[in-house]
Amino acid sequence: MKTDRLTIAGTAYASRLIVGTGKYPTFEVMRRAIEASGAVLVTVAVRRVDLARRDGESLLDHLDLETLKLLPNTAGCYTADEAVRTARLAREAGLSDLIKLEVIGDEKTLFPDTEGLLQATRTLVKEGFTVLPYTNDDLVVAKRLRDAGAAAVMPLASPIGSGLGIQNALNLRFILEEIRDIPVIVDAGVGTPSDAAVVLEMGADGVLMNTGIAGAGDPVKMARAMRLAVEAGRLAAESGRIPRKLHASASSPIDGLLR
């Protein structure tokens, strides 16, 4: 068990924290926040080049691709077909088989359409993609995704961008108990470092976040806080916490007390 290594499909990444590149006030703040987070995997979205409005600045000018690895997503896709199409374009643009697969089923909650997700996972696995599906905190779906060849499962803690933290710890616990052969990466809902620490303490292999860092008052400082929380949570998971007890148990010896 390597504290600071997240292994996905045989490749080890030097951080258990995966961060997004959206919603930053400037590219420079994003660059510094990613650096402070220690993340090596960074998510990106695939969009049409806006030919009417181009200022010459591109996201990739601000990402150090010597040290970072791009994880393109299929955000905004509402059908398996759209997601597969976007994944194929992402592979061509990024020359990598990694894909964070999203098939959204509801606009308000951005909850996944798990039926479409499974369908797209099967198609993309067949085409040689390393598929990391963003999914519900549903054990049965997680098992099906694993059986369909997903390289990891990425259940949500709470809705994307909500910052609500873990809303259903029991469901995550069931997934973590059962899915042992591929990484479980909690994706979405982390609002503050304690959320991330708890995720790792529960035994998750990693955590993925965007808004929790990018939307903070000081994204660079928050990125460092998240990094420390992920490291702390992982170390705690490996350490074996004490059992909870109802009553006190003195830390100082009773022998030798002055009477």
Partner 1 sequence: MTIVLNGVRREAPAGASVLALLETIGLAPGRVAVEINGRIARREDFAREPLRDDDRVEVVQFVGGG
Inter-axis angle of helices 27-37 and 219-239, nearest 10: 20
Smallest separation (angstroms) from partner 1 to the CB of 179: 22
Catalytic residue annotation? 100
Smallest separation (angstroms) from partner 1 to the CB of 73: 6
Judged by the rule CB under 8 A, the positions of this chain that interact with partner 1 are 20-24, 30, 43-51, 54, 58-60, 70, 72-73, 75, 85, 88-90, 92-94, 160-161, 188, 208-211
For every residue of 205-229, DSSP letters joined together read SEEEESHHHHTSSSHHHHHHHHHHH
Euclidean distance between CA atoms 213 and 217, whole angstroms: 9
Residue 69's DSSP bridge partners are 41
For every residue of 56-104, DSSP letters joined together read S--GGGGS-TTT-EEEEB-TT--SHHHHHHHHHHHHHHH---EEEE--B
Contact 145, 137 (CB under 8 A): no
Select 139 or 222, whichever has its Cβ closest to partner 1: 222
Select 88 or 221, whichever has its Cβ closest to partner 1: 88
Counting every residue written for the chain, the total comes to 259
Select 46 or 103, whichever has its Cβ closest to partner 1: 46
Smallest separation (angstroms) from partner 1 to the CB of 72: 7
CA nearest neighbour of 200 among 20, 17, 37, 35: 17
Select 166 or 237, whichever has its Cβ closest to partner 1: 166
Contact 183, 18 (CB under 8 A): no
CB atoms within 10 A of CB 202: 19
Select 48 or 241, whichever has its Cβ closest to partner 1: 48
Select 12 or 93, whichever has its Cβ closest to partner 1: 93
Euclidean distance between CA atoms 156 and 165, whole angstroms: 9
Residue with the two structure tokens 């077909």: 81
Smallest separation (angstroms) from partner 1 to the CB of 118: 22
Smallest separation (angstroms) from partner 1 to the CB of 187: 9
Smallest separation (angstroms) from partner 1 to the CB of 186: 13
Residue 83's DSSP bridge partners are none
Q: DSSP 3-state assignment of 239? A: helix
